[in-house]
Amino acid sequence: MGRYQRQIQLSDFGQKAQNKISQSKVLVIGAGGLGCPVIMSLTAMGVGHIGIMDGDIVEITNLHRQYLYTEKDLNKLKTVVALQRLGEMNSEVHLESFPFFATAENLFSVIQNFDIIIDGTDQIPTRYLINDVCCVLKKPLVYGSVFRHEGQVSVFNVVQDGILSTNYRDLFPFPEKTQNTLSCNEAGVTGILPNLIGGFMANEAVKLITGVGKPLINKVLYYNSKTNFQSILQVSKNPENTYIFDKEVLEIYGEKIFCNPLEVEDINQILTHLKDKNQHVLVDVREENERPILPFGIKIPLNQLSEKINTLEKFNTLVFICQSGVRSAKALEWAQNNLSDTNVYHYKYGAAHFIKYCTHGN
Amino acid sequence: MIVKPFGKIVDVLQQDIVPENKYQNWMELQKHLFERFPELKNEHYLVAINHKIISEKENPDLQSGDEIALLPPFSGG
């Protein structure tokens, strides 16, 4: 009897599904509360190649929910411990470690070698980053997250009948609004919940690999461990999600995009602010001779802002822009000190980027 | 009609809400919720009506038996 006999003997699974599993390559980002049950399940089931990405070490507060680690592993890199233990569980699996945190600089090169990506991280900016990179590279993404006694699971970015399914930005299009979301460190979590949610996530990955079952594509599963209430919500393409997925922009600005909405705006936020031309205006603070010329907005060089304050006061929202984001940041600082009743932003990427990605008319 | 808060929104609404009055559409109901629970304005959540997520600008009409879920983003892992 082979080690996978009990799943192969399922009539709708069989050797065919097992072969697909043994040929699959899955990257798990985050080897914590969600990542541990995922990598343990996928290793046991015989996934051919598992990548584990995490720059963290094992801490005492991890042990109540991260069952892969023991007291002997404290202060060791999670990837080092995981590789050793998973290798003992199943020597047939090719395990590869990426002992660092996900960043815009490293994610593209790592993700492109895998078929399915699993997000078990615990920070909102990283979740947007992983989502965005998967959208650029068109990689299916299994998403899971927890809050106290509750969890969410979904599958993003799967091509079905030639159409790409929904992604995280269809649920929450505006990163700046999600900034106050609490992680487990702040909100607390029981030991069992992430293992349940991680189990759901591994299950979704196996469904994607084998084609057996219906993955949560265009759906979000909600689960509450206190009441056992669960609900599946239908997700549609969100018209508010007009984000332009772009490798170059992500590699340059990456997760910094989400740090401070006043300092960095994406094109779509800019366009939202500029919808009402009488109330909102794009203010180009470059000198007269600088190019490219912007298709709309007003021009006031940085050193003339004070004398043109009467013009600026007429608007309730100003978005400053310059060549590279330096002068617009200074303009933002000036406006924060001098225009207390005005909403002020600056566009960090500069005029050339704005022109390149501004496909909306105005 | 019932409004079900999830995650952090439970801290604001405390429990499922069954509005006493009839509200024609989602925006009207949300306005009522903002008046009753001013802190809700500071929260970020997606809205699902009868298990179907609506976008921020949609304002569907409501029927008496509708179930409205308010689900915020979770980040923990």
CB contact under 8 A, B73 and A30: no
**Which of A110-114, A124-128, A281-285 tops mean pLDDT?**
A110-114
Contacts of A222 in chain B (CB under 8 A): 6, 69, 71
- Is residue A254 one of the residues assigned to a domain? no
pLDDT (0 to 100) of residue A352: 77
CA–CA gap between residue A136 and residue A244 (Å, rounded): 9
Higher-confidence position of A232 and A333 = A232
Confidence bin at A353 (pLDDT 50/70/90): confident
Confidence bin at A266 (pLDDT 50/70/90): low
Given a cut of 60, whether residue A257 has pLDDT beyond it is: no
- Is residue A102 one of the residues assigned to a domain? yes
Given a cut of 50, whether residue A262 has pLDDT beyond it is: no
Higher-confidence position of A159 and A175 = A159
CA–CA gap between residue A42 and residue A199 (Å, rounded): 10
Both A107 and A229 in one domain: the answer is: yes
CATH second-level architecture of B2-71? Roll (3.10)
**Which residues of chain A from 116 to 175 reach within 8 Å of chain B, CB to CB?**
119-124, 127, 144-148, 150-152, 171-174
> Which of the residue ranges A72-76, A174-178, A226-230 would you say has the lowest mean pLDDT?
A174-178
pLDDT (0 to 100) of residue A261: 41
- Is residue A291 one of the residues assigned to a domain? yes
Contacts of B56 in chain A (CB under 8 A): 173, 240
Sign of CA dihedral A106, A108, A109, A113: positive
Confidence bin at A118 (pLDDT 50/70/90): very high
Cβ-based burial of A5 (10 A; exposed 0-12, middle 13-18, buried ≥19) = exposed
Q: Domain ranges for chain B, please list them.
A: 2-71
CB contact under 8 A, A146 and B46: no
CA–CA gap between residue A24 and residue B45 (Å, rounded): 35
pLDDT (0 to 100) of residue A111: 97
Contacts of A35 in chain B (CB under 8 A): 77
Q: In angstroms, what is the C-alpha Rg of chain B? A: 12
Measure CB to CB from residue A236 to each of B53, B57, B77 and give the nearest one: B53
Q: Is A205 helix (H, G, I), strand (E, B) or coil?
A: helix
Given a cut of 90, whether residue A184 has pLDDT beyond it is: no
Q: What is the pLDDT of residues A36-65, one digit of tens each?
A: 999 999 999 999 999 999 999 999 999 999
> Which of the residue ranges A5-9, A173-177, A294-298, B39-43 would you say has the lowest mean pLDDT?
A173-177
Q: CA of B15 to nearest chain A CA: how many angstroms apart? A: 13
Both A59 and A168 in one domain: the answer is: yes
User: Which of B46, B7, B42, B72 lies closest to A188 in space, CA to CA?
Assistant: B7
Both A45 and A144 in one domain: the answer is: yes
Domain range for A104 is: 5-234
Given a cut of 50, whether residue A259 has pLDDT beyond it is: no
Given a cut of 70, whether residue A253 has pLDDT beyond it is: no
pLDDT (0 to 100) of residue A256: 52
Contacts of A147 in chain B (CB under 8 A): 7-8, 72, 74-76
- Is residue A222 one of the residues assigned to a domain? yes
Q: Where does a domain end: A199, A234, A269?
A: A234
Strand intervals (E) in A181-259: 219-224, 230-234
Both A163 and A220 in one domain: the answer is: yes
Two tokens, residue A271: 């366009």
The number of folded domains in chain A is 2
Given a cut of 60, whether residue A233 has pLDDT beyond it is: yes
Q: What is the CATH number of the domain that holds A325?
A: 3.40.250.10
Given a cut of 70, whether residue A358 has pLDDT beyond it is: no
Q: What is the pLDDT of residues A139-159, one digit of tens each?
A: 999 999 999 999 999 999 999
Q: What is the mean pLDDT of residues B35-41?
A: 95
B75 bridge partner residues:
none
Both A336 and A279 in one domain: the answer is: yes
Confidence bin at A254 (pLDDT 50/70/90): low
- Is residue A247 one of the residues assigned to a domain? no
pLDDT (0 to 100) of residue A275: 64
Two tokens, residue B13: 């609404």
Both A214 and A307 in one domain: the answer is: no
Two tokens, residue A303: 């050193």
Q: What is the mean pLDDT of residues A101-118?
A: 93
ipTM of this model? Answer: 0.94
Both A193 and A293 in one domain: the answer is: no
Contacts across the A-B interface (CB distance below 8 Å): 98
Both A225 and A282 in one domain: the answer is: no
Per-position DSSP letters for A69-88, written without gaps between them: --GGGTTSBHHHHHHHHHHH
Measure CB to CB from residue B73 to each of A119, A181, A231 and give the nearest one: A181
Q: What is the mean pLDDT of residues A193-201?
A: 98
CB contact under 8 A, A124 and B73: yes
Higher-confidence position of A261 and A145 = A145
Q: What is the CATH number of the domain that holds A175?
A: 3.40.50.720
- Is residue A344 one of the residues assigned to a domain? yes
